[in-house]
Chains A and B, each alone.
Chain A
Amino acid sequence: MTPAAVARKDASQDRQKRMIAEHFSRLARAPETGEKNCYTYVPGNLTELLRSFDLLPVLPEINALQSGMRGKTRDYIAVAEKAGHSEDVCAYVKSDIGMQEMGNVGPTGERLPDPDVLLLSYTGCFTFLKWFELLREKYKCPVAMLHVPYQGEGVVTPSMRKYVVDQLKEKVIPALEQVSGRKYDEDRLREHLVRSVQAENDLVAVLQSAKHRPSPIDAWFGGVYYIGPIFTSFRGTQDAVDYYRELRAEVEARIAEGKGPVSPEGDVTERYRVVVEGPPSWTHFRELWKMFADEGAVAVASTYTKVGGVYDLGFRHDPAHPLETLADYCMGCYTNLNLPSRVDMITQYVEEYAADGFLINSVKSCKSFSAGQLVILREVEKRTGRPGGFIESDLVDPRYFSGANIKNRLESYFQMIAQKRAGKEAS
């Protein structure tokens, strides 16, 4: 890796770091400045709408995964279990509960404000409902609920769209008006949506850069950094627009130089191209990445980087129809897709990104995500003729990560691909 490459890589990463630090600092100062916040979830988040009311988003899932990466979740989970939550409860929930019990100190080391409102836009996860029920109990704060219909038939119908828009108009917007003290301003919302589209265009270019050989990015381990701003508090902000423009330029430069992705261990020489389904194991993120990098395995596409919005298949926010586009966005998140749609998507990725195979990381915490994954595996194998691999771990509960077992499965999987290749060449 040349020093210039380090500098270019660092530019967007530094920017993201700065954005996050500023955001959490604003949140920490909120009790003094009087700025209001809203706790909400990644899939189906309404960041543009919240920002149009000057509400600062707080995302408990992101706090949990950050806690996992910082090695805090073992203690947080222990606190939650002591409080009565069983071992089988989603580890994101327990991490969040534990973090709040221990002072609600966020990932940057600053205290998070208590929620002014909980926006329960729940998409594909029923646990979200129970999670905010627990927070409502703790903070005695209002809840604005948005029920997002599941894409059971694989399509969004006009009545589904209307159902969501009606809730936005009748429930969500009035609740946000009340908490923020601002009137709903559709023009302001549109301005945010215009900026969303700019960032989305650049993000898609970054994700699709992995079609190159070698891929300049890792679309799973690296991908989770790239989706950071757009999945969390920054979609619709100028910061996000600037971040994605810069990131895209960096990635295009890597393509021009014929470079592969960079991992924390250094440049990765691409030997295997895989599509990945499922989230990473945040507590062992670096260890898991190293297992891939050591084998020369590069994720060229992933479904996890679509849980907060599927943009690479064509969707963009439409400023001309602000509430309808928010409805479509919520219903289109990966977590809201049915099994056939997920199979279609993975199959398409395997083909379009010329992958050698696809891997599933099945996490114990998330039953709604893991259910049916073996069905997906068989079906995609059948359609693409390329092998599926399967590992099991958890999101942020370190007790469910067995390094030796996972390494064994990954090595076996990659060697299986190599053996198949050799077999094909021999015959």
Chain B
Amino acid sequence: MKYAVGIDLGSTTTKAVVIGTDGQVLGHGITNSRSNYDLACQVALTEAIIHTRFCLVESELTAHGVEGPAATRMLAELELRFREQQYRGQLAVLDAVTRRMAAASPPGTMASLDRVLVAMAREVGSMFGFGATRKSDFFRDLAGARFLALAEDEARRSGIRFEGIVGLFDKAILEVENTPWEGGAFESQIGSALAGTAARTPALEAAVRRATAVPLEKIAAVGTGYGRSRLPFPKEQIRSEILCHGLGAHAMFPLTRTVLDIGGQDTKAIQVDDRGIVTSFQMNDRCAAGCGRYLGYIADEMNLGLHELGPLAQSSTRSVRINSTCTVFAGAELRERLSLGEKREDILAGLHRAIVLRAMSLLARSGGVKDQFTFTGGVAKNPAAVKALRGLITENYGELHMNISPDSIYTGALGAALFALRDVQGTPLPEPALATNGGSHAH
């Protein structure tokens, strides 16, 4: 099976989307960005291939009449076991690297480290149990959170310096995530994942066998995103993320005419024509105020998780007007409002409105908002931002159809993949839709 891939190397995450020669999405993958850009791309692609293979397993099952809740549960268990195996494999690498780095540490450190690492390995099973929640699926976040918690206990119990032991992890994780690792691939872990799947049936085993045997051949690749100039691609295989977002949004929602993307450090307002060709765009200037980072900063100030901000803001009954568009000043204004007795949810509602107002200004500068309007980027997952945006759009441009895809984080990578395909085919763009089967896969 031939495929084209688009890779979106963002400031926070790297995304890959794999499409077939008909333009249909086969799979997508995501990982955290890191100093080794080349490796971040490889991992994202590996993850997209894993997703592709899982989708193939599902198709195989369906083709052989294995469908329904039991089949879904069986597949979900297989995926969970796969993630568990992947995590175990990478944990073993981390274990070895951390111990090597601790070799020259003061006496007592190695014993403490040993207790932490052993405990980490012991709890893997419960982390990947059915119904267990994980705030992130990136190894760095998962392992980091557990290491920190266990190291804190260890420091309390043994009196060893907490910073010393955590410093070892900080150093080790950099080496681990910047060193190529074969163990992350589908073929490396699927065997043991299948063996560990309690609900497996001969039909699943056969489907996995057939899906694994499908040859996948990369015929084209295009890179985009902030780190695109550092991608290991020739210049002609690199596209601006603005073009990729425009085309990606068009592919997901073909009636799109205006796209708003609010990412970690930039906001883009893009106008596209009926073929997804960008006709005009505006983006924020030097300052990242009003982007995703702003919300991250506010969450830190309020000691909340990023995902908790939106729901809390939604419980507001009276939005407080926030004047500062500067991220740091907004933090000061937030503290001042709190000291004046304003409610947290009301201040948060005001902050969400403030960032959306900045986006509204960019939209106006790019030529306004036309039907249909597609909202992408990490902030599109925040319900309070969506609510504020919907209100302001209606107020300024009337009732419009607003699209938000659960896979909107892949918009840029999808556009890049379509450019890649067009480069090799030299034909007009097909009209694909993002695959929704298989759920989201992350590593």
In contact, B278 and A416 (Cβ under 8 angstroms): yes
In contact, A404 and B278 (Cβ under 8 angstroms): no
User: Which residues of chain A are near B428, meaning CB under 8 Å?
Assistant: 426
In contact, B242 and A404 (Cβ under 8 angstroms): no
User: Which residues of chain A are near B188, meaning CB under 8 Å?
Assistant: none
Number of interface residues, chain A, beta carbon within 8 A: 22
CB distance from B138 to the nearest CB of A (A): 24
A374 to B, closest residue via Cβ: B365
How many angstroms between the C-alpha atoms of A409 and B283 in the bound complex? 8
A388 and B280 in contact (CB under 8 A), knowing A404-B226, A408-B226?
yes
In contact, A412 and B243 (Cβ under 8 angstroms): yes
Tell me the residues in window 381-427 of chain A with beta carbons closer than 8 Å to chain B beta carbons.
381, 387-388, 390, 392, 400, 402, 404-405, 407-409, 411-412, 415-416, 419-420, 423, 426
In contact, A387 and B279 (Cβ under 8 angstroms): yes
In contact, A415 and B286 (Cβ under 8 angstroms): no
How many angstroms between the C-alpha atoms of A420 and B277 in the bound complex? 7
In contact, A405 and B286 (Cβ under 8 angstroms): yes
CB distance from B92 to the nearest CB of A (A): 38
| Residue in A404, A405, A407, A412 whose CB lies within 8 Å of B281 | A412
- Say whether A378 faces chain B, with CB atoms less than 8 Å apart: yes
- Say whether B367 faces chain A, with CB atoms less than 8 Å apart: yes
B273 to A, closest residue via Cβ: A423
A-B contacts at CB below 8 angstroms, number: 51
In contact, B280 and A392 (Cβ under 8 angstroms): no
CB distance from A420 to the nearest CB of B (A): 6
How many angstroms between the C-alpha atoms of A390 and B241 in the bound complex? 16
A412 and B282 in contact (CB under 8 A), knowing A404-B226, A423-B275?
no
How many angstroms between the C-alpha atoms of A402 and B280 in the bound complex? 21
In contact, A416 and B285 (Cβ under 8 angstroms): no
In contact, A402 and B243 (Cβ under 8 angstroms): no
- Say whether B240 faces chain A, with CB atoms less than 8 Å apart: yes
A423 and B243 in contact (CB under 8 A), knowing A378-B367, A404-B226, A408-B226?
no
CB distance from A372 to the nearest CB of B (A): 13
In contact, A390 and B282 (Cβ under 8 angstroms): yes
How many angstroms between the C-alpha atoms of A419 and B243 in the bound complex? 9
User: Which residues of chain B are near A416, meaning CB under 8 Å?
Assistant: 240, 242-243, 277-279, 281
Q: Interface of chain A, helix or strand or loop or mixed?
A: helix
In contact, A415 and B240 (Cβ under 8 angstroms): yes
User: Which residues of chain B are near A374, meaning CB under 8 Å?
Assistant: 365
B422 to A, closest residue via Cβ: A422
User: Which residues of chain A are near B229, meaning CB under 8 Å?
Assistant: 407
CB distance from A325 to the nearest CB of B (A): 41
How many angstroms between the C-alpha atoms of A390 and B242 in the bound complex? 14
In contact, B278 and A400 (Cβ under 8 angstroms): no
A392 to B, closest residue via Cβ: B285
- Chain A CB within 10 Å, residue with most, of B273, B281, B286, B428: B286
How many angstroms between the C-alpha atoms of A63 and B279 in the bound complex? 39
- Chain B CB within 10 Å, residue with most, of A400, A412, A415: A412
In contact, A412 and B242 (Cβ under 8 angstroms): yes
How many angstroms between the C-alpha atoms of A378 and B367 in the bound complex? 8
A378 to B, closest residue via Cβ: B367
A362 to B, closest residue via Cβ: B285
In contact, B240 and A412 (Cβ under 8 angstroms): yes
User: Which residues of chain A are near B283, meaning CB under 8 Å?
Assistant: 405, 408-409
User: Which residues of chain B are near A387, meaning CB under 8 Å?
Assistant: 279-280
How many angstroms between the C-alpha atoms of A378 and B229 in the bound complex? 31
In contact, A405 and B242 (Cβ under 8 angstroms): no
In contact, A400 and B275 (Cβ under 8 angstroms): no
User: Which residues of chain B are near A390, meaning CB under 8 Å?
Assistant: 282, 365
Question: Interface code B250-272, partner A: CB below 8 Å = 1, 0 otherwise?
Answer: 00000000000000001000000
- Say whether B239 faces chain A, with CB atoms less than 8 Å apart: yes
Tell me the residues in window 263-315 of chain B with beta carbons closer than 8 Å to chain A beta carbons.
266, 273, 275, 277-283, 285-286
User: Which residues of chain A are near B279, meaning CB under 8 Å?
Assistant: 387, 416, 420
User: Which residues of chain B are near A402, meaning CB under 8 Å?
Assistant: 285-286
User: Which residues of chain B are near A423, meaning CB under 8 Å?
Assistant: 273, 275, 277
User: Which residues of chain B are near A404, meaning CB under 8 Å?
Assistant: 226
How many angstroms between the C-alpha atoms of A132 and B85 in the bound complex? 74
User: Which residues of chain A are near B275, meaning CB under 8 Å?
Assistant: 423
CB distance from B7 to the nearest CB of A (A): 17
Question: Interface code B352-380, partner A: CB below 8 Å = 1, 0 otherwise?
Answer: 00000000000001010000000000000
User: Which residues of chain A are near B282, meaning CB under 8 Å?
Assistant: 390
CB distance from B250 to the nearest CB of A (A): 12
User: Which residues of chain A are near B367, meaning CB under 8 Å?
Assistant: 378
How many angstroms between the C-alpha atoms of A381 and B240 in the bound complex? 22
How many angstroms between the C-alpha atoms of A419 and B282 in the bound complex? 17
User: Which residues of chain A are near B281, meaning CB under 8 Å?
Assistant: 412, 416
CB distance from B238 to the nearest CB of A (A): 9
How many angstroms between the C-alpha atoms of A423 and B286 in the bound complex? 32
In contact, B277 and A411 (Cβ under 8 angstroms): no
B247 to A, closest residue via Cβ: A419
How many angstroms between the C-alpha atoms of A319 and B285 in the bound complex? 47
User: Which residues of chain A are near B277, meaning CB under 8 Å?
Assistant: 416, 419-420, 423
User: Which residues of chain B are near A415, meaning CB under 8 Å?
Assistant: 239-240, 243
CB distance from B6 to the nearest CB of A (A): 15
CB distance from B222 to the nearest CB of A (A): 11
User: Which residues of chain B are near A411, meaning CB under 8 Å?
Assistant: 240
How many angstroms between the C-alpha atoms of A415 and B224 in the bound complex? 12
- Chain A CB within 10 Å, residue with most, of B229, B273, B282, B285: B285
B282 to A, closest residue via Cβ: A390
Taking A378-B367, A416-B279 as known contacts, 17 extra A-B pairs with beta carbons closer than 8 A to each other, sorted by chain A number, are: A381-B280, A387-B279, A388-B280, A390-B282, A392-B285, A400-B286, A404-B226, A405-B285, A407-B229, A412-B243, A415-B239, A415-B240, A415-B243, A416-B278, A419-B243, A419-B277, A419-B278
A-B contact pairs, 28 of them (CB 8 A): A374-B365, A378-B367, A381-B280, A387-B279, A388-B280, A390-B282, A392-B285, A392-B286, A400-B286, A402-B285, A402-B286, A405-B283, A405-B285, A405-B286, A408-B226, A408-B241, A408-B242, A411-B240, A412-B241, A412-B242, A412-B278, A412-B281, A415-B239, A416-B243, A416-B277, A416-B279, A420-B277, A423-B273
A contact residues vs B (CB 8 Å cutoff): 374, 378, 381, 387-388, 390, 392, 400, 402, 404-405, 407-409, 411-412, 415-416, 419-420, 423, 426
Q: Closest 7 CB pairs between A and B? A: A412-B240, A412-B242, A402-B286, A392-B285, A416-B278, A411-B240, A423-B277
